[in-house]
Structure 1
């Protein structure tokens, strides 16, 4: 039994309690450099959410110092250090307000206001976010109390995700969407609270000394307050998880219905829209060349119950004019969502294609007609005449042992002009 206890004993590898507490207290304050780092991290995270870049968002979470006051609050609760608790909560409030302000200003100034998937993912928290925050917080606090901190800390910063919800809340304020703001702020609150609670539990488990003596009655009141707050946080998250589950099941039932009743019968589906949150729920469909009579539509609606699709209006779009407009709007919306990064990549590829030479047949012909030319290189280069004048020239450089005869060079240049469709062609020998 002792061996089993030693296997799970958290005291093994534990750092001195005084050193850990000093480290926690030093990371609480948001002044000077810490505040600047936080503001910059918020901007980075906001850009990542704005352009839907997961890598940028992860980078912002790694440089964020937001964990400091939250862990400090957990340690303060565990050791009944109410002065430290006030200091931690004050700095957390400052950090939260600064983060909201910076993200609000960024999204207010940003020309891209489209709601990306990374933003939407932070607007509907549920019980799974609670589990991530709690167990991620446990890992983080255990790592903080070790002599060898190891590499869990960066992983905890990514998993608990404090930055993105704050930025999403700022986005909600900037675009005037209160539901986004409230959902993201609730997710942020969940993360902060359950990281704090996990810290509190580990501090208790490791038996950190109490800074102030509290009687049994006061300790019981603190425990009750913490328990009540846990319940307040959990109930909405359970409800949101239930709603998410119902929405997933509903979407699966609709997909099965569409597959069995239409796709498997050879009808080409070109439009589908599911409105789960409307009352009643709505499913809109449109098909390429199939038109349904009123009798067929009534029969199809009757079959919804068999797929557990209840309280739903099925609307099959058969007005070709309205349908075309909807499809065009969707295409335009998706085109608008193409990020500036994609345009930049396309332009660079286009420019690069102008400098690369991939005509293998032409290269093969050159080696056959001018065997003494190899080795050689061929490509396009910029020729600068003066500060205001330049042009692109097709250049063939060879490094044979001796120069080609002037007549051969002229013949080769004229032949290349014809092959490449350009008058800007030059052949030259370079020394090895």
Structure 2
């Protein structure tokens, strides 16, 4: 359930907005005057699945007006108990509004001091955990690392055709990976690299089942966001495992093991591309798109371009994986 509040001018558009509110068949609503002159506050109590349509209708009515504000709140509980809807509308899917998802994603794609500090700390934890074969430390680094945020931001930007978000997410992701590589490379000069560590060496193993894991993790992350269940992202961070391969690249490169560094880098690239593509597919299937028709055309173009590039990169990575596997079998034989 959602509580939608609209603060708007009390002008001739008010009646049209109220018709849109009633058309949404809310559970309840009320209107009150505010302390500001000629202003109204409309509070609407909505069932799941109806908020986006109402928000779009309101924004259409108030097109060209900057003097309004829509705020959406999740409703944890209400009394008395609501009756369950019995008609076909009861099957509306549970989904957060586009604006709610955008707010969550854009915050996670922000490049600021906290992001940099979190990447540095998680890289230190991951590098030490990988080298010492500490499973708990590696898992902890996965949870700490904020790299999933810019990946989802990139997919969201493509789904909406929002090139500002695309650029911001790309810069944040590139900076995060670059910081992780630099930190782990520096750490390699202070750590005696242990090639017997199973956690470290597993990051140099690139297999096709890793592609399926990354795709599933990306889809789960996007689905969690669209359903307003951000708490599930902790599990996705562990499954996605973006930071450990990045830390492994720096450790291998700093110690002169370039072939292992290449394999770990391939695993990192494969995970990033698979996450982006899977999240993009889920956003598309959940109909996360701009409100205006012309913006939808731009979004469609961005989606197809990014999807095509992702598929090409995955195909190239898959071919390289098969080639590496074939080369290893030949050398063993």
**Inter-partner Cα distance in structure 2 for 1:180 and 1:110:** 17
Whether 1:14 and 2:90 are equivalent positions in the alignment is no
Deviation at 1:102, TM superposition (A): 0.7
C-alpha displacement of 1:6: 9.3
Which of 58, 73, 76 is the equivalent residue of 2:157? 76
Q: Write the deviation string for residues 173-194 of structure 1: whole angstroms up to 9, x where unpaired.
A: 1111222222111111111111
TM-score by length of 1: 0.52
**Shift >4 Å, 4+ stretches:** 214-222, 241-244
Partner residue, 2:307:
226
Matched, 1:155 2:218: no
Partner Cα distance (1:14, 1:237) in 2: 34
Task: Give secondary structure in 2 for the equivalent of 1:108.
Answer: coil
Q: Check the 8 A contact 1:38/1:95 in 2, yes or no.
A: yes
Measure the CA separation in 1 of the matches of 2:126 and 2:313.
29
From 110, 113, 127, the equivalent of 1:32 is 113
Match of 1:139, SS state, is helix
Mapped pair 1:89 → 2:177: no
Contact 1:127 1:234 in 2 (8 A): no
CA 1:228–1:94: 2 relative to 1, 3 Å: closer
> Which residue of the other structure, out of 138, 161, 178, is the alignment partner of 1:57?
138
TM-score, structure 2 as length reference: 0.66
Which has the higher relative contact order, 1 or 2, with Cα contacts under 8 A spaced 6 or more apart? Answer: 2
2:263 is aligned to 183
User: Structure 1, residues 367-412: CA drift from partner, whole Å, max 9, x if none?
Assistant: xxxxxxxxxxxxxxxxxxxxxxxxxxxxxxxxxxxxxxxxxxxxxx
Deviations 1:100-132 (A, max 9, x none): 111111122113443522122111322211111
1:28-427 paired onto structure 2 within 5 Å: 28-150=109-231, 152-210=232-290, 213=294, 219=300, 223-224=304-305, 226-237=307-318, 240-241=321-322, 244=325, 276-278=329-331, 281=332, 312=333
- Equivalenced residues, count: 246
Rounded Cα–Cα distance in structure 2 between residues aligned with 1:157 and 1:147: 17
Alpha-carbon distance in 2 for matches of 1:143, 1:68:
13
Deviation at 1:64, TM superposition (A): 1.0
Tell me, in whole angstroms, the C-alpha distance in 2 between the residues paired with 1:221 and 1:20.
Answer: 18
Q: Which structure has the greater CA radius of gyration?
A: 1
Retained in 2: the 8 A contact 1:42–1:99? Answer: yes
In the alignment, structure 2 segments of 5+ residues that lack a partner are 1-85
- Contact 2:154–2:276 (8 Å) recurs in 1: yes
Q: 1:173, 1:243 → 2: CA distance?
A: 19
Post-superposition offset of 1:63? 1.1
CA contact (8 A) 1:44 1:57 kept: yes
Separation (CA, whole Å) in 1 of partners of 2:296 and 2:101: 26
Checking the alignment, whether the CA contact within 8 Å between 1:70 and 1:88 is kept in structure 2 is yes
Partners of 2:156 and 2:228 in 1: CA distance? 18
In 1, Cα distance between the equivalents of 2:227 and 2:259?
Answer: 41
Distance (whole Å) between structure 2 residues aligned to residue 36 and residue 100 of structure 1: 14
